[in-house]
């Protein structure tokens, strides 16, 4: 049996954040679960790299669109590898093999009579890459609120209006096609209002896939990007996809445009589209402009990838909006993983080692309550995971763990071991076997959610091989082999001190923000560099250099940034009407009092960035020493405030 699922093809306007991670972790869970059910699974993700927004962003930093896309796409690829997500196909829209699939789709649609050429004058949102019907010049985009631009150009149009009735019939005939139901209802209401024909090409930009036989035209983003789901498995016999997993903000394009394109081309449509909700940061939608982006890497470094996976899939009801905060993450980890599952594993295995020399005894009889709770959990997880009710399925496992904890307290093995009564020793054997068997069942059920941790648990209870692909259909209570020796117990989920952990994650997030501010600056590795010297950056033209406005500034005020031991908050005079606020990662090398009245060099025309909620209006120039502290640039002569460096 084959099963093919996809994440969105992520846009390369920014490096991956926790919202991208949420979708991809959920897709990884589904892929692992399907493998446990015996499916041959392929999970596809990738990057959407064309369009005017990328063309403009690349030009702004002096890069070609391809160079810009290469850098961001690699960030996505590395992120999924770092988080140990089982991506089978990573497809880029700049890949020539993808271009062929897009062009073939176009030819099919054109030859069937669903494509025509016309001119268009109207309002266009560059940010959303979307024409805004009925908008006037300067009107905001309804999706993002940014001003629209007036565009006049020749386009190819797709006859989307011809598919209104067929789309509604699909939604009514197959309620599972769009899930959850709230998204299905929204899409149906949108289609019933009437559909306009859709522009699928542009002539005002060059960064895109050429339209066949039309050199002036390149494909518009959605006709291009959606086709990636096919190009990623072209020639493998896997189409149609069993599942497109997406965020709710792009459901219209997947549930309306995509089926219509495929029907027009005479191709099969995907079987199911599931649109989950937004992940909010402390109840506010994450965005670069608000400066509240959260990334997975700092969390992984402090708490591990499994902790993040568990929080996102347990805390958030899949399909609805959910909220993320560092405090809630640590709280859920300590309550459920450290004090719950981790504590049960630790004390169970410790008792087996202490009371039965590391060998799990055979049980004479069983705990009816624990066995029934385990059977209930097995059934619930199978049902819930199939229906993407991850939080509900995890609740069922923790309900079983609660029954096991109660059972252990009632049996009190630490008392039974001291008894000379043979009946008490039988009860001890039964208690130990029951606890180990409950851990085994939990490890299997939780392995798609906590893959690394459950493999460690699996090894500690003496089981061979890895849990990946365990045949869950055959999972039943009582399958642990009695008389089996367990491994050496070690803490799987050590308890975490909340305050320092949160501070560390915030600090690492700030540093990641600084790193990504210079992400598109491609580096090369020249030969002959002295040991410890960082490589010279890629050669630039003088026109690129003069874009950087370096100014002499004088520090008027300096203090620590609350909650960080690496950031200083500075007020710097560069000759303007009022001093600049600058957040600098130099607290490890300079104390606030050392900075007062000091002359420094700052990048004055850098786009402001928010760090710890403070808008930093520039960047201080310092030497970055390999493995050492930063050293600020300085002057031997007296230089006036505001002087420009050339």
HSE at residue 344, side-chain half, CA atoms within 13 A, is 29
- Range with lowest mean pLDDT among 62-66, 402-406, 435-439: 62-66
- Output the pLDDT for position 531: 42
- Range with lowest mean pLDDT among 269-273, 288-292, 356-360: 288-292
Packed helices 343-356 and 390-411: angle between N→C axes, nearest 10 degrees: 30
Question: What is residue 280's three-state secondary structure?
Answer: strand
Q: Compute the mean pLDDT over every residue in the chain, rounded to the nearest whole number.
A: 90
What DSSP state is assigned to residue 126?
A: T
User: Which residue is it, tokens 């869970």?
Assistant: 29
- Cβ atoms of 265 and 227 within 8 Å: the answer is no
CA separation for the pair 398, 316 (Å, rounded): 16
Question: What is residue 70's three-state secondary structure?
Answer: helix
Q: Is the pLDDT of residue 284 over 80?
A: no
Mean pLDDT of 73-80: 96
Helices (H), 193-291: 221-225, 228-231, 251-252, 258-264
- Range with lowest mean pLDDT among 109-113, 141-145, 214-218, 223-227: 141-145
The model's pLDDT over 574-632, given as tens digits with 9 standing for 90+, comes to: 999 899 999 988 888 899 998 999 999 999 988 888 777 788 999 899 886 544 568 89
pTM value is: 0.79
- Cβ atoms of 550 and 617 within 8 Å: the answer is no
- How far is CA 627 from its chain centroid? 30
Q: Is the pLDDT of residue 1 over 90?
A: yes
In angstroms, the Cα distances linking 199 to 135, 257, 411, 443 are 16, 11, 70, 51
Percent of the chain scoring above 70 in pLDDT:
92
Res. 123 pLDDT band, cuts 50 70 90:
confident
Q: What are the chain's domains?
A: 2-276 (3.40.50.620), 344-474 (1.10.730.10), 524-632 (2.40.50.140)
- How far is CA 309 from its chain centroid? 10
User: Which residue is it, tokens 């009437």?
Assistant: 194
Q: Which of 446, 472, 471 is nearest to 457 (CA)?
A: 446
- Output the pLDDT for position 566: 79
Angle CA 513–94–24, to nearest 5: 50
Res. 184 pLDDT band, cuts 50 70 90:
very high
- Range with lowest mean pLDDT among 30-44, 100-114, 300-314, 502-516: 502-516
Mean pLDDT of 350-376: 91
Res. 544 pLDDT band, cuts 50 70 90:
low
Q: Is the pLDDT of residue 39 over 70?
A: yes
User: Which residue is it, tokens 């391809």?
Assistant: 66
Q: Please spell the DSSP secondary structure of 476-545, one letter per residue.
A: -TT-S-TTPBP-----SS----HHHHHHHHHHHHHHHHHHHHTTT--B---TTPPTTPPPPBPP--HHHH
In angstroms, the Cα distances linking 189 to 106, 250, 252, 555 are 28, 16, 11, 58
Res. 282 pLDDT band, cuts 50 70 90:
low
CA separation for the pair 122, 154 (Å, rounded): 12
In angstroms, the Cα distances linking 553 to 99, 103, 550 are 50, 55, 10
- Output the pLDDT for position 344: 97
> How many other CB atoms are there within 10 angstroms of residue 166's CB atom?
12
- How far is CA 505 from its chain centroid? 16
Radius of gyration of the chain (CA): 29
CA separation for the pair 396, 384 (Å, rounded): 9
CA separation for the pair 561, 287 (Å, rounded): 22
Q: Is the pLDDT of residue 325 over 60?
A: yes
Q: Please spell the DSSP secondary structure of 602-631, one letter per residue.
A: EETTSPPEEETTEEE--EE-EE--TTS--E
Mean pLDDT of 405-425: 95
The model's pLDDT over 563-579, given as tens digits with 9 standing for 90+, comes to: 777 789 999 999 998 99
What is the distance between the terminal CA atoms of the chain, rounded to a whole angstrom? 65
- Output the pLDDT for position 45: 98
Q: Is the pLDDT of residue 163 over 70?
A: yes
CA separation for the pair 527, 349 (Å, rounded): 54
- 3 is written with which tokens? 């099963």
What DSSP state is assigned to residue 140?
A: B
User: Which residue is it, tokens 């690492």?
Assistant: 508
Burial of residue 222, with CB atoms counted within 10 A of its CB: 0-12 exposed, 13-18 middle, 19 or more buried: buried
- Output the pLDDT for position 523: 39
Q: Which of 232, 240, 231 is nearest to 104 (CA)?
A: 231
Please say whether the dihedral angle defined by the alpha carbons of residues 79, 82, 84 and 88, taken in this order, is positive or negative. positive
In angstroms, the Cα distances linking 608 to 137, 511, 517, 553, 603 are 28, 15, 10, 17, 11
- 486 is written with which tokens? 């367990």
CA separation for the pair 594, 618 (Å, rounded): 20
- How far is CA 604 from its chain centroid? 33
């Amino acid at each position: 049996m084959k099963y093919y699922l996809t994440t969105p093809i992520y846009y390369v306007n920014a490096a991956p954040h926790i919202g991208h991670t949420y979708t991809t972790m959920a897709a990884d869970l589904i892929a692992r679960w399907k493998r446990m059910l015996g499916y041959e699974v392929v999970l596809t993700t990738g990057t959407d790299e064309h369009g005017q927004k990328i063309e403009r962003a690349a030009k702004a930093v002096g890069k070609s669109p391809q160079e810009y896309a290469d850098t961001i796409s690699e960030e996505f690829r590395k992120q999924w590898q770092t988080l140990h997500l089982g991506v089978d196909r990573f497809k880029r829209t700049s890949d020539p093999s993808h271009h062929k699939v897009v062009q073939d789709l176009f030819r099919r649609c054109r030859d069937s009579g669903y494509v025509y050429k016309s001119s268009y004058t109207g309002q266009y949102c560059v940010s959303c890459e979307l024409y805004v019907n009925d908008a006037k010049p300067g009107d905001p985009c309804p999706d993002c609120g940014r001003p629209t631009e007036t565009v006049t150009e020749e386009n190819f149009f797709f006859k989307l209006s011809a598919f209104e009735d067929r789309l509604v019939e699909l939604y009514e005939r197959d309620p599972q096609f769009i899930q959850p139901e709230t998204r299905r209802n929204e899409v149906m209401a949108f289609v019933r209002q009437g559909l306009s024909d859709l522009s699928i090409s542009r002539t005002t930009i060059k960064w895109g896939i050429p339209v066949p036989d039309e050199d002036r035209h390149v494909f518009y983003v959605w006709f291009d990007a959606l086709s990636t789901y096919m190009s990623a498995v072209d020639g493998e016999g896997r189409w149609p996809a069993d599942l497109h997993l997406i965020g709710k903000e792009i459901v219209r394009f997947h549930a309306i445009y995509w089926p219509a394109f495929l029907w027009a081309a005479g191709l099969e449509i995907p079987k199911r589209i599931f649109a989950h909700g937004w992940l909010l940061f402390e109840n506010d939608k994450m965005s670069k402009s608000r400066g509240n982006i959260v990334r997975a890497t700092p969390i992984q470094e402090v708490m591990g990838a499994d902790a993040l996976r568990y929080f996102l899939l347990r805390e958030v009801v899949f399909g609805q909006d959910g909220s993320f905060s560092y405090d809630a993450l640590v709280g859920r980890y300590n309550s459920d993983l450290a004090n719950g599952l981790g504590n049960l594993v630790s004390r169970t295995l410790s008792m087996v080692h202490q009371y039965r020399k590391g060998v799990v005894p055979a049980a004479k009889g069983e705990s009816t309550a624990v066995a029934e709770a385990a059977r209930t959990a097995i059934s619930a997880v199978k049902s819930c995971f199939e229906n993407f009710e991850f939080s509900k399925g995890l609740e069922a496992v923790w309900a079983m763990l609660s029954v096991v904890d109660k059972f252990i307290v009632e049996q009190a093995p630490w008392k039974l071991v001291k008894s000379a009564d043979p009946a008490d020793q039988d009860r001890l054997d039964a208690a130990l076997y029951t606890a180990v068997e409950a851990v085994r069942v939990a490890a299997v059920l939780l392995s798609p959610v906590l893959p690394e941790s459950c493999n460690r648990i699996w090894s500690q209870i003496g089981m061979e091989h890895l849990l990946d692909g365990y045949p869950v259909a055959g999972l039943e209570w009582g399958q642990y082999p009695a008389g089996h020796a367990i491994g050496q117990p070690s803490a799987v989920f050590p308890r975490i001190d909340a305050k320092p952990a949160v501070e560390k994650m915030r600090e690492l997030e700030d540093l990641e923000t600084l790193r990504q501010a210079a992400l598109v600056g491609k580096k090369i590795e020249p030969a002959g560099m002295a040991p410890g010297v960082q490589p010279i950056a890629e050669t630039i033209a003088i026109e690129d250099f003069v874009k950087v406005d370096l100014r002499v500034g004088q520090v008027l005020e300096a203090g620590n940034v609350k909650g960080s031991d690496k950031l200083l908050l500075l007020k710097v005079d560069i000759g303007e009407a009022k001093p600049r606020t600058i957040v600098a990662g130099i607290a490890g090398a300079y104390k606030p009092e050392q900075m007062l009245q000091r002359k420094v060099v700052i990048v004055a025309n850098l786009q402001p960035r928010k760090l710890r909620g403070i808008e930093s209006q520039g960047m201080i120039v310092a030497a970055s020493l390999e493995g050492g502290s930063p050293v600020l640039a300085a002057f031997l002569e007296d230089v006036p405030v505001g002087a420009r460096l050339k």
